[in-house]
Amino acid sequence: MAFPARVSSVAVSQINVTPLVDVLLVLLIIFMISAPVVTHKLKIDLPRPIPDETQQKAEPIQLAIHADGSMYWNDMPVDQIAINAQLAIAGLQKIQPALYIDVADGASYQVVAHVLSSAKSNGMASINFIDQR
């Protein structure tokens, strides 16, 4: 293999601008495509933040339903009539407490369903179940 011999020993001082022009053209095309997407506005109705007054939390309610059908409202024994009255009072409060229901393994489905329907009909917004595993 023969390499061509340089006639002069002067260094090449020219800049190859071809790759620079290629990159600039690609960037130009990208900006031309993405510019209409950026200028397009979409109106979204986001929920308003709740004022600080209503962010206060009410003390949660613990309702335990045992396998024999007995119920305990914050560790106080209650019957079905008292549960309905307590849920009605809690549903009318400005800041509603969260209702945490702890159901024993052998509890009757009918009792649990009645408590849930009563809580829902009285306007309770936060009803949760506790899992004691």
pTM higher than 0.85, yes or no? Answer: no
Helices and strands in the chain: count of H runs, count of E runs: 3, 5
Strand 76-78 vs strand 99-103: parallel, antiparallel, or unpaired?
A: unpaired
Nearest to 116 by CA among 101, 131, 105, 106: 101
Which three-class secondary structure state does DSSP give residue 33? helix
21-63 tens-digit pLDDT: 999 999 999 989 888 776 777 788 888 877 665 456 778 889 9
- Write down all domains in the chain, each with its CATH number in brackets: 52-130 (3.30.420.270)
